[in-house]
């Protein structure tokens, strides 16, 4: 707890003009200062800062407050963290009071306690690593040597080592007096189904995850044996830690980002450390999750430019496309450094060095450049061209807040590469975008309604698949092996699918309450109601059937739902083939398309008959 006199001491010591001026461009307007509001889009500046009163007010969106309130909103910090941020920045000592023994903790109390526990754990892991790397035959020392991580970067990122023991934390004096329930809530220990409690991280290289103030929010543990799964074990989300609100390495990169106003985004912890090792100190990484709108806001608050350097394989390229779409929707113009198919930033730098990396950074491409990277201009096949046209249109239609000028610029780039009539492509984009907007705003009145969330009728199959994944391990494994999030039309269903996949990959229990943390209340109400209704349906069917193997009902439903998705994919392909007919005058190709459509329709009949 921060006493009131300490808050007043801070307010008397900082100047709101300096605080806001460090974050956005401001200009004098008489005795006050004026800026374009950072909290809503506006062309004419309506954000006023009063030097004499030490307050701000936007006459466009209505937000107002003092320097602490501004830092809370702009840096996405809690009230205590905003105070700490300002105190640290201006060298003001703040004396806090904290009683960790109270049972009736508020959420802020709990956050502070978990922050303290994480700090103790980070110190313990780091101390153990420094001891372990001096030990003869140490596996973690061998791993660090293999990845070329020297002491300078062990210190910079405060890397640690979790011993191969079950109760290291409890045996350390720093954790005496703390019960297992708060250590479990902090994600430092786990309880199994038998009620046994043990340390979350064992025999792993530990990467602490810091916030922008240098507080430890969570940890990521890398297995030292590649046969051990999951390879990376991440802290669960807590009241302090949300994966979609943190970028790994941002704390260490902030000084460089402030100087350059530019950021490089990579995919993994080792990739990030290697980039810093070679001098690219404005590099940050995603923390064990897909890139989200919240990540985009963090980027936008701290940098004017961002370059994506994700893995060069197929999955990495898909991730680059989705990340670029989200960043464009947030009002940024991302560039992409395209690595070779078998490379990530770590392997590329270690094999080719800094000169080649500099060349790669200079040859950056746009989202369109990535989508059309494999397009061969000499290939006259209309089918090939159509597939790239569809790829561009689908990607641009995914960008929810794309401006008319951005769309125009990106479409023009695509048209130049594809050498096609600009009017046709613009019209198709407009139709596709309008269709998506209409479906989002005008759901079918016959749709199943639970709470206030309204899914389309055709999306019910997708939600059924999610229910099956939540209910049965065999069904989940089968579904994960046959479809990806790209097979989902409903955006929320695709997000739930990815959450399930992430928990599965991390070896965490696949629980609905964990999955729904970041969804809005309307969707939570729908999803909980849907799962309960499906439970009731399957229970009733089981009782009627008298079957002795209830799992068989799950697998039958799984097969049926996957069949529906397969049929839908064929229908989508038929629709795309019909679209292609508009772009080709070649009679031979037209006949080929018509034959393919006929074959696909026959396949639909065969699947339906099974």
Is CATH 3.90.980.10 the classification given to domain 107-241? yes
Return the closest-CA partner of residue 111 out of 139, 140, 78, 135: 78
Are the beta carbons of 299 and 332 closer than 8 angstroms?
A: yes
Handedness of CA 251, 252, 253, 254 (dihedral sign): positive
Out of 2.40.170.20, 3.40.50.300, 3.50.50.60, 3.40.1360.10, select the CATH number for domain 246-365: 3.40.1360.10
187 C-beta neighbours (distance < 10 Å), count: 23
Helix (H, G, I), strand (E, B) or coil at 440: helix
Amino acid 551: pLDDT:
65
- C-alpha 278: how far from its chain's center? 26
Partnered with residue 190 across adjacent β-strands are 198
The model's pLDDT over 109-136, given as tens digits with 9 standing for 90+, comes to 788 899 999 999 999 999 999 999 999 9
Residue listed under structure tokens 């795309």: 576
Amino acid 443: pLDDT:
43
Secondary structure string (H, E, C) spanning 303-335: CCEEEECCCCCHHHHHHHHHHHHHHHHCCCCCE
Q: Considering the domain 4-89, what is its CATH architecture?
A: Alpha-Beta Complex (3.90)
Amino acid 34: pLDDT:
92
How many whole angstroms separate alpha carbon 234 and alpha carbon 239?
15
Are the beta carbons of 517 and 238 closer than 8 angstroms?
A: no
Which parts of 494-602 are beta strand (E)? none
How many whole angstroms separate alpha carbon 253 and alpha carbon 260?
11
Amino acid 436: pLDDT:
62
Tell me which H or E stretch contains 198.
strand 197-199
So where are the chain's domains? 4-89, 107-241, 246-365, 382-441, 457-609
Return the closest-CA partner of residue 280 out of 264, 297, 269: 264
Segments in the chain below pLDDT 50? 100-101, 104, 441-451, 546-549
Residue listed under structure tokens 């466009």: 60
How many whole angstroms separate alpha carbon 281 and alpha carbon 274?
10
Beta-carbon-side half-sphere exposure of residue 454 (alpha carbons within 13 Å): 10
How is the beta sheet containing 27-29 ordered, strand by strand? 27-29, 32-35, 47-50, 55-58, 64-65
Structure tokens at 62: 């209505």
Amino acid 438: pLDDT:
52
Return the closest-CA partner of residue 189 out of 204, 168, 208, 203: 168
176 C-beta neighbours (distance < 10 Å), count: 8
CATH for 457-609 is 1.10.860.10
């Amino acid at each position: 707890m921060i006493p009131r006199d300490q808050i007043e001491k801070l307010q008397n010591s900082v100047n709101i003009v300096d605080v806001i001026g460090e974050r956005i461009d401001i200009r004098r307007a008489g005795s006050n200062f004026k800026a374009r509001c950072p909290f809503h889009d506006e062309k004419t500046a309506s954000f006023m800062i009063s030097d004499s009163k030490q307050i701000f007010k936007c006459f466009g969106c209505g937000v107002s407050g003092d320097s602490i309130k501004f830092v809370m909103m702009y840096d996405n910090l809690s009230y205590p963290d905003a105070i700490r941020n300002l105190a640290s920045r201006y060298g003001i000592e703040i004396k806090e009071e904290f009683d960790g023994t109270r049972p009736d903790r508020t959420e802020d109390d709990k956050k502070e306690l978990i922050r303290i526990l994480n700090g103790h754990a980070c110190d313990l892991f780091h101390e153990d690593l420094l001891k372990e790397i001096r030990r003869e035959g140490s596996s973690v020392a061998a791993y660090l040597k293999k990845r070329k991580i020297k002491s300078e970067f062990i210190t910079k990122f405060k890397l640690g080592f979790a011993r191969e023991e079950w109760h290291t934390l409890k045996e350390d004096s720093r954790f005496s007096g703390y019960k297992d329930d708060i250590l479990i809530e902090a994600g430092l220990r786990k309880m199994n189904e038998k009620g046994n409690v043990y340390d979350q991280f064992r025999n792993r290289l530990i990467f602490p995850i810091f916030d922008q103030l240098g507080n430890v929010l969570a940890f990521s543990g890398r297995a030292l044996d590649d046969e051990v799964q999951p390879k990376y074990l991440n802290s669960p989300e807590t009241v302090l830690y949300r994966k979609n609100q943190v970028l790994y390495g941002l704390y260490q990169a902030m000084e460089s980002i402030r100087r350059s106003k530019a950021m490089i985004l990579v995919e993994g912890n080792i990739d990030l450390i290697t980039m810093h090792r070679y001098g690219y100190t404005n590099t940050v990484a995603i923390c064990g999750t897909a890139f989200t709108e919240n990540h985009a806001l963090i980027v936008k608050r701290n940098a004017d430019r961002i370059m994506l350097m994700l893995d060069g394989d197929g999955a990495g390229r898909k991730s680059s496309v989705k990340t670029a779409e989200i960043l464009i929707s947030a009002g940024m113009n991302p560039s992409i450094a395209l690595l070779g198919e078998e490379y990530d930033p770590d392997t590329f730098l270690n094999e080719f060095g800094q000169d080649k990396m500099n060349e790669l950074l200079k040859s950056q491409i746009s989202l369109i450049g990535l989508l059309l990277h494999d397009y061969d201009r000499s290939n006259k096949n209309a089918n090939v061209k159509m597939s790239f046209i569809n790829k561009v249109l689908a990607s641009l239609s995914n960008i929810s807040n794309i401006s008319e000028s951005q769309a125009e610029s990106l479409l023009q780039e695509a048209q130049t590469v594809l050498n096609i009539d600009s009017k046709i492509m613009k019209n198709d984009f407009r139709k596709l975008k309008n269709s998506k907007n209409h479906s989002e705003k005008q759901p079918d009145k016959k749709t199943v309604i639970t709470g206030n969330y309204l899914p389309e009728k055709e999306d019910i199959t997708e939600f059924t698949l999610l229910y099956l994944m939540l209910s049965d391990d065999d069904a989940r494994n089968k579904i994960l092996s046959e479809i990806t999030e790209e097979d989902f039309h409903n955006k929320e269903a695709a997000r739930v699918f990815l959450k399930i996949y992430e928990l599965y990959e991390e070896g965490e229990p696949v629980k609905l309450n964990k999955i729904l943390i970041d969804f809005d209340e309307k969707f939570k109400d729908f999803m909980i109601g849907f799962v309960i209704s499906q439970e009731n349906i399957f229970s009733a069917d089981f009782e009627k059937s008298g079957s002795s193997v209830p799992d068989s009902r799950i697998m039958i439903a799984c097969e049926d739902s996957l069949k529906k998705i397969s049929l839908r994919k064929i229908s989508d392909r038929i629709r795309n083939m019909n679209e292609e007919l508009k772009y080709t005058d070649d009679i031979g190709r037209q006949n080929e398309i018509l034959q393919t459509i006929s074959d696909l329709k026959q396949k639909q009949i065969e699947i339906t008959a099974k």
